[in-house]
Amino acid sequence: MQHITNESEAVTAVSASAGKPVIIYKHSAICGMCDIAIVEFERFRERESDRFAFYQVDVIGARKASQKIEALMQVRHESPQVLMIWDSRCLWHGSHRAIKEDRLRTEAEAFLLGLPGRS
């Protein structure tokens, strides 16, 4: 998983979705909900690492990068938060209790089936 630390890297991560589906995970080290979500997210990521490019942003340490993602995706920031991106568009996002391994797998399958040229 690549870490996004600045606005330029945020733009690069979103742009990477032109060639491969991208998932960005927004995390806060001071959020109790994030402590639970990161475990679920990591389980999901381990199973899906071949089908998606994964990125993580620390919403406090890289606040400008997190804000850039919010602006680019036009998705209100929350943490924890997962964004599934294709062709520089966020096609699914979830936060808080939606970040469960099973839910992420279900959403990922639907996401991938909806992409052009995939079935």
Q: Which domains does the chain have, with CATH numbers?
A: 2-113 (3.40.30.10)
Task: Report pTM.
Answer: 0.92
Give the pLDDT band (50/70/90) at residue 114.
confident
Amino acid at 52: F
- Report pLDDT digits (tens) over 35-46: 999 999 999 999
Would you say how long the chain is, in residues? 119
Distance of CA 81 to the CA centre of its chain: 7
- Report pLDDT digits (tens) over 55-86: 999 999 999 999 999 999 999 998 999 999 99
